[in-house]
Amino acid sequence: MEVYKIKGGNRLKGNIKVSGAKNSAVALIPATILADSPVTIDGLPEISDVLTLKLLMEEIGGTVTFENGKMTVDPTNMEAMPLPNGNVKKMRASYYLMGAMLGRFKRAVVGLPGGCFLGPRPIDQHIKGFEALGAKVTNEHGAIYLRADELKGAKIYLDVASVGATINIMLAAVRAKGQTIIENAAKEPEIVDVATLLSNMGAKIKGAGTSVIRIDGVDELHGAQHTVIPDRIEAATYMIMAAAIGDGIQVDNVIPFHLEAVTAKLREMGVKVQEDEESIFIPKSETLHAVDVKTLVYPGLATDIQQPLCVLMTQAEGSSKVTDTIYSARFKHIDELRRMNAVARVEGNTAILTGPTTLHGSTVTASDLRAGAALVIAGLLAEGETEIHDIYHVERGYSDIVEKLNALGAEIRKETITPASAN
C-alpha cells in the first residue's frame, strides 16, 4: 500500500505551478468521442483520472497519444462498446461517456460511476436530460443502458444546478436535431471550457457560464485543438496551504477571477492575498481570524475547497463554522483532523472548528480526494510525522503533489508499506 509520510513543521517558500483542471480534463477527453478526426488537448494534469480516461478511450477503439500533458485522441474507429465495469468504476466523471457516446452512436452502456464518496450522488438529472432528448434509459445490474433512434432538441429544466448533468446533456445535445435549452444550468468555469472545445469542434452553443444554455444541434463535429484551463481547486488548495504554513508563496498559472470566493474568504480570515494577472502571492500570515463558510454552486465557495479550508480554521482564533449545502455529509476529514488534535465537531451539515491548535503528527486515512488534500496540509503543519493512507484518492486530482511541495521546502515522500506495518 502506498502512503505519504510527511515531516511537519517546515515553513514553505517559493513558487508552485498549478496544473490543468481535473474537472475540465475529465469532460474534455470524452468530448473527443464526438469528433470525426483527431482532437488535441494540451495542459492536461498527470493524474490517475486522466490516465483512466485514456484507457477508456482506447477500450472503445480510439487511438490515443499522451505526452507532456498533451493528449491527441483519434476517435475515427471508435465503436459503442459496452463499458459496464472496470475502468468506469474508478472515477466519477466516466458518466460523461454516457452523453458523448449517446451523441455519437445514439447508444451506450456505461457502468455507474465511482469517484469520491461524499454521501449520495444521484445522476437522475443526467438521465432526465437524456430522456428529454429522446433516449430510452434503463438501469440494469449497475449499468446505465441508453438507446435512441434519434436525438431531438428539448427544453430541460435542471432541478439542481448540477455540473455533471449540464455537461452531459451538452455532450449529447450538440448532435441532436434542433435546439436544446438547458435551464438552471450550472455555471462553473469547467462548463465554459468544455463548451469552448465543443464550439471549436463545430458545435453551436450559447450561454455556457450562465444559467440558460442554448444548443443548436449539428450533423457532424470535427477535430480541434484546445488548452485546458488551470485547476481552480488545486490553486485554492495551495493558497490555503500558503496561508497555513507559507513564508511567501506564489501560486502560478491561475485565473484569479475563478478564485474570487476563496480569495474573499481568506482575506476575511486576515490573509493578505495579492492577485496578479496569472498568479497569486500569499505572504506569511499574521493572526488568522475564525470565519463562517457556506459552500454554494459557482460563483459561491466550492464544496471541494471546504475540506482544505477546515485545516486553516484549526489555526484561526475562535470558532469557525463550515456548512456544506452541496454534500451534507462531506465531513469524513473532521474525524481524521481530530486524531491530529484538532478541536472540531460535526452537527448535521455543519462542522465547527475551534483554534488555534497545534496539530500533532498521526496516522490518518484519506476518505476522499479533498479530505486527502486537507490531511496533506495538516501534516505539513503538524509537529512530528504524519502518515496518510489511501492516497490513491489524492492522486486522482493533484498532479506531482510530492515534487511540487518538496520544491517549496516540505518533507513529504511516497512510500510503499506492507499491510502489517499499516496497522
Ligand X SMILES: C=C(OP(=O)(O)O)C(=O)O
Ligand Y SMILES: CC(=O)N[C@H]1[C@@H](OP(=O)(O)OP(=O)(O)OC[C@H]2O[C@@H](n3ccc(=O)[nH]c3=O)[C@H](O)[C@@H]2O)O[C@H](CO)[C@@H](O)[C@@H]1O
The least distance separating ligand Y from the CB of residue 56, rounded to whole angstroms, comes to 14
Sheet holding 63-67, edge to edge: 63-67, 70-74, 39-42, 225-227
Considering only 16, 25, 26, 221, the residue that binds ligand Y (CB under 6 A) is 26
How far is residue 169's CA from residue 403's CA, in Å, rounded to a whole number? 38
Considering only 92, 175, 232, 265, the residue that binds ligand X (CB under 6 A) is 92
The least distance separating ligand X from the CB of residue 254, rounded to whole angstroms, comes to 17
- Does position 169 interact with ligand Y (CB under 6 A)? The reply is no
The least distance separating ligand Y from the CB of residue 26, rounded to whole angstroms, comes to 5
- Does position 115 interact with ligand X (CB under 6 A)? The reply is yes
Considering the candidates 39, 116, 293, 334, report the single residue annotated as catalytic. 116
Considering only 369, 378, 391, 401, the residue that binds ligand X (CB under 6 A) is 369
Q: 207: how many CB neighbours lie within 10 A of its CB?
A: 16
160 binds, among ligand Y, ligand X, none (CB under 5 to 8 A by kind): ligand Y
- The pattern of x and - marking residues 49 through 88 that bind ligand X according to CB under 6 A reads ----------------------------------------
Nearest Cα to Cα of residue 182 among 132, 111, 237, 148: 132
The Cα diameter of the chain in Å comes to: 63
Site for ligand Y in 177-196 (CB under 6 A): 186
- The pattern of x and - marking residues 376 through 415 that bind ligand X according to CB under 6 A reads ---------------------x------------------
CB 412, CB 384: distance < 8 Å: no
Q: Measuring CA to CA, how many Å separate 295 from each of 261, 270, 341?
A: 10, 20, 25
In three-state secondary structure terms, 262 is: helix
Q: Is 292 labeled as ligand-binding?
A: no
- Does position 329 interact with ligand Y (CB under 6 A)? The reply is no
How big is the chain by its Cα radius of gyration, in Å?
21
CB 205, CB 276: distance < 8 Å: no
Which residue has its beta carbon closest to ligand Y? Answer: 164
- Sign of the torsion formed by the C-alpha atoms of 67, 70, 72 and 78: positive
The least distance separating ligand Y from the CB of residue 262, rounded to whole angstroms, comes to 14
- Does position 52 interact with ligand Y (CB under 6 A)? The reply is no
Nearer Cβ to ligand Y, position 235 or 412?
235
Nearer Cβ to ligand X, position 332 or 370?
370
Q: Is 125 labeled as ligand-binding?
A: yes
CB 182, CB 209: distance < 8 Å: no
CA angle at 208 for the pair 205 and 211, rounded to the nearest 5°:
125
- Does position 162 interact with ligand Y (CB under 6 A)? The reply is yes
Q: Is 206 labeled as ligand-binding?
A: no
326 binds, among ligand Y, ligand X, none (CB under 5 to 8 A by kind): ligand Y
Nearer Cβ to ligand Y, position 19 or 125?
125
How far is residue 151's CA from residue 175's CA, in Å, rounded to a whole number? 7
How far is residue 71's CA from residue 64's CA, in Å, rounded to a whole number? 7
Q: Is 17 labeled as ligand-binding?
A: no
- Neighbouring residues of 65: CB distance < 8 A, sequence distance ≥ 6: 71, 72
Nearest Cα to Cα of residue 327 among 116, 138, 171: 116
- Neighbouring residues of 213: CB distance < 8 A, sequence distance ≥ 6: 166, 170, 181, 182, 185, 191, 195, 205, 206, 207
Is residue 116 annotated as a catalytic residue, yes or no?
A: yes
370 binds, among ligand X, ligand Y, none (CB under 5 to 8 A by kind): ligand X
In three-state secondary structure terms, 302 is: coil
Nearer Cβ to ligand X, position 156 or 326?
326
Q: Is 122 labeled as ligand-binding?
A: yes
First to last CA, the chain: 12
Site for ligand Y in 267-306 (CB under 6 A): 302-304
Q: Is 23 labeled as ligand-binding?
A: yes
20 binds, among ligand X, ligand Y, none (CB under 5 to 8 A by kind): none
- Sign of the torsion formed by the C-alpha atoms of 364, 259, 117 and 69: negative
Chain residues that interact with ligand Y, rule: CB under 6 A: 23, 26, 92-93, 121-126, 160, 162-165, 186, 302-304, 326-327
Catalytic residue numbers, as ranges? 116
Binding site residues, ligand X, CB under 6 A: 92-93, 115-116, 304, 369-370, 397
Q: Which residues are annotated as a binding site?
A: 22-23, 92, 121-125, 304, 326
Annotated binding site for UDP-N-acetyl-alpha-D-glucosamine: 92, 121-125, 304, 326
